[in-house]
């Protein structure tokens, strides 16, 4: 088993996020570090991950002793700390060992058979999952083996990531309804993503009412939603003025959120609709996929006379 302190995890996650802003998939860089620890009979106790660098070439030459020893002081070695492995990130790429990673890991295991490779994808962090795997090679087996690890304490990984992100970057705040007026909703599930348009289905003539558009993602990843709202000519929108021709972008990494709240005024008696149309999803690979339209039908009645 491998034991990891929460503080070491937070340190390496911070280094990963400094080089890959979860709110913006531009210029994500891979990071690398050396894992220090103590080797015991049945356990490796990790004590630190020392950042080495970030960039596109993350191969670390462990024969560069000068660099390695400049990173680790002799007092630490005296206290029994040794290099127990190496850690690097795959921002948005998933958890695995690439061909180069396997070659690097072979060198580490030559140095010490228990040395391991830690691979972290910060975009894989969830409430219950740290976002990293630990690997070792067994030459008798065709694929790297995933090793078990545990933390010195229990905590919510996602809130660690979120607080580090808001410490490092400006986090956009989703719109929160001031007075949510929601009486009915229509919902579609599209590629596992739940999109909901909700508002009153029965409104009085000349009455103001609100419509809320919200989204629930099945998992956490970089997602951008572009959409348009359209109404038939029986409803006049008040804000934004050019709503029917506007385009909105949702740029978040939260798994759920409100895209917007729109205020309308009912104009003509009869059946009317608010339609969410031309909605596109793009993930970090910039795939665009069109979804079916979603409409909220509203019945407009004459205002009660007083
Ligand atoms: Zn890699």
Residues 73 and 217 in one domain: no
Residues 13 and 76 in one domain: yes
Residues 262-285: tens digit of each pLDDT:
777 777 888 888 887 766 665 544
| Listed ranges 113-117, 247-251, 269-273, 286-290; the one with the highest mean pLDDT | 113-117
Ligand 1 centre distance from Cα of residue 129 (Å): 19
Question: Where a domain ends, among 102, 136, 168?
Answer: 168
Q: What is the CATH number of the domain that holds 240?
A: 2.60.40.10
Ligand 1 centre distance from Cα of residue 218 (Å): 26
Q: Which of 145-149, 213-217, 228-232, 241-245 has the lowest mean pLDDT?
A: 241-245
Angstrom distance (rounded) from CA 55 to CA 193: 33
Question: Where a domain ends, among 168, 198, 216?
Answer: 168
Owning domain of residue 229: 184-301
Ligand 1 centre distance from Cα of residue 234 (Å): 56
Residue position matching structure tokens 């030559």: 110
Residues 139 and 202 in one domain: no
Ligand 1 centre distance from Cα of residue 97 (Å): 6
pTM for the model stands at 0.57
Residues 287-296: tens digit of each pLDDT:
556 666 788 8
Asked if residue 178 is part of any domain, the answer here is: no
Residues 134 and 238 in one domain: no
Ligand 1 centre distance from Cα of residue 24 (Å): 21
Asked if residue 50 is part of any domain, the answer here is: yes
Question: Where a domain ends, among 140, 168, 196?
Answer: 168
Residues 95-105: tens digit of each pLDDT:
999 998 999 99
Q: What is the CATH number of the domain that holds 73?
A: 3.40.140.10
Burial 25-62 (b: 16+ CB within 10 A, else e): beebebbbbbbbbeeeeeebbbbbbbbbebeeebebeb
């Amino acid at each position: 088993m491998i034991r990891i302190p929460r503080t070491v995890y937070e340190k390496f996650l911070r280094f990963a996020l400094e080089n890959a802003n979860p709110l913006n998939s531009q210029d994500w860089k891979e990071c690398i570090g050396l894992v220090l620890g103590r080797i015991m009979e049945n356990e490796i106790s990790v004590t630190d991950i020392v950042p080495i660098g970030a960039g596109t070439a993350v191969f670390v030459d462990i024969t560069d002793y000068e660099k390695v020893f400049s990173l680790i002081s002799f007092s630490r070695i005296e206290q029994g700390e040794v290099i127990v492995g190496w850690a690097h990130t795959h921002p948005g790429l998933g958890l695995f060992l690439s061909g180069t990673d396997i070659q690097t890991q072979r060198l580490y295991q030559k140095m010490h058979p228990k040395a391991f490779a830690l691979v972290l994808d910060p975009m894989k962090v969830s409430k219950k999952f740290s976002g990293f795997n630990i690997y070792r090679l067994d030459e008798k087996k065709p694929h790297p083996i995933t090793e078990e690890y545990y933390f010195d304490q229990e905590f919510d990984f996602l809130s660690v990531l979120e607080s580090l992100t808001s410490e490092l970057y400006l986090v956009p705040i989703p719109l929160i309804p001031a007075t949510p007026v929601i009486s009915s909703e229509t919902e579609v599930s599209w590629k596992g993503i739940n999109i909901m348009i909700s508002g009153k289905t029965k409104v009085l003539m000349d009455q103001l009412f609100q419509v809320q558009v919200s989204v629930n993602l099945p998992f956490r990843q970089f997602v951008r939603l572009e959409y348009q709202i359209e109404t038939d000519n029986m409803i006049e929108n008040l804000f934004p003025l050019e709503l029917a021709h506007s385009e909105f972008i949702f740029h978040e990494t939260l798994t759920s959120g409100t895209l917007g709240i729109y205020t309308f005024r009912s104009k003509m008696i009869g059946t009317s609709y608010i339609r969410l149309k031309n909605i596109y999803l793009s993930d970090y690979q910039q795939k665009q996929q069109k979804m079916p339209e979603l409409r909220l039908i509203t019945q407009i009645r004459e205002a009660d006379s007083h």
